[in-house]
Amino acid sequence: MIFRLIRFIFAAVALGSVSLAAEPLPKSEGSRWVPPSFQKVVGFRFRLPSDGSEGPVPSGFSLLKNGAVDVAQLEKLKQKSVELTAAQTSKLLTATNGKEIIYPAACYDPHHLFLFYSGERTVVAAVEVCFNCTGIYATPGISKAQWYRHDFIALARLADELGLWQEGRTVDEWEKAILSNRK
């Protein structure tokens, strides 16, 4: 049994799978999502495995599974990455902790991921964003009080500022469509 565990650990390291911190992650403070202590944040634009497929494709893909980031899959699907400045990280956290409730659509096909690192390769938190359905998945998880409370317009503007926006229309066009759906 112990040898299986050791083999599993070595396989995970070899495949590039990065688990989140081994110690329990702090819960969000109140209704705010708060990542554990981190040194840097990197934003990613990635394609879905089904992008470019003909015919219907299943929805619901995520790089976050069981509290871990599938780094090997991210490396295969990554289109662009950029490290955020302190000001951009502040924008990300403020937008993740929005006040207005925005219910997502039924799909979940994210193309953006923000990883919080405590060291060079230690991921301690992640925020995955789907601009099509206005859905977010995060680890550690978002508290129930914060569900659906995200500023997607600020997130879209940040993705554009970082050069990660590639949604088939400009941020202004996307924002106009989002705002018209709220009326």
Return the percentage of the chain with pLDDT > 70, whole number.
Answer: 73
Per-residue pLDDT band for 163 (boundaries 50, 70, 90) equals very high
Is pLDDT above 70 for 21? no
What are the domain boundaries of the chain? 15-22+29-181
Give which of 151, 161, 101, 117 is closest to 131, Cα–Cα.
151
Amino acid letter for position 9: I
Give the largest CA-CA distance in the chain. Answer: 59
Distance of CA 81 to the CA centre of its chain: 13
Each residue of 7-20: pLDDT tens digit? 323 233 333 333 33
pTM, two decimal places: 0.78
Residue 168 banded pLDDT, cuts 50, 70, 90: confident
- Tokens of residue 13, six digits: 């390291």
Average pLDDT of the segment spanning 121-137: 90
pLDDT tens digits along 76-114: 999 999 999 999 999 999 999 988 766 667 788 899 999
